[in-house]
Amino acid sequence: MGNMLMLGFAGFMGLLKIVLMALAAFALFDAAFRREDAFRAAGKQTKVFWLVILGIALVVSYLFSILSILPAAGAVASIVYLVDVRPAVKALTGGNRGGWGRGKGRGGSSSDGPYGPYNGGR
C-alpha cells in the first residue's frame, strides 16, 4: 500500500513539473515575440531582462526537483510575467498586434460578421 502511495506521489510531482515547465516555456516564447519598446513604455523592466529571467526559470524547472526552492522561484517569475507584465505590454501593443497570436494585422469594426461587413439586409 505504501509503495503505491509513493508511486502516485511521484506521478503527481512529475505532472506538476511538466506544468511548471510549460508555464515557463509559454511565458518565454510570449516575451520573445513581444516588441521591445512596449516593455519600456509599460515600465516593466526590459525585454532582455524578462527573457533572461524566464529562460532561467525554464532551465531551473527542468534541472531541479520540484521540491527545491529554485523551481518555485521560477514559477513565481513566470506567473508575475503572465499576470502583470503580459497584460500591460499587450494593452500597449493593441491586443495581439506585435505579438504572435491570431488576428495579427486584422482591423475590423463592430458591425463585421464572419464573412465580411454586415449591411443590415440590403
Average pLDDT across each block of 10 residues of the chain; the chain has 122 residues. List them in order: 80 90 96 91 91 95 88 94 93 64 52 64 56
Mean per-residue pLDDT over the chain, rounded = 83
* Residue carrying the nine cell digits 505579438: 99
Distance between CA 79 and CA 61 in Å, rounded? 14
What is the number of domains present in the chain? 1
**Angle at CA of residue 38, ends 53 and 106, nearest 5°:** 120
Residue 101 located in a structural domain: no
pLDDT at 116: 64
Residue 104 located in a structural domain: no
pLDDT at 104: 46
Q: How does pLDDT run across 52-76, given as a tens digit for each residue?
A: 999 999 999 999 888 889 999 999 9
Domain that holds residue 26: 19-93
Residue 110 located in a structural domain: no
State the pTM of this model: 0.71
Cβ-contact 71, 14 below 8 angstroms: no
Residue 111 located in a structural domain: no
Helix, strand, coil percent values for the chain (each to nearest 5): 65, 5, 30
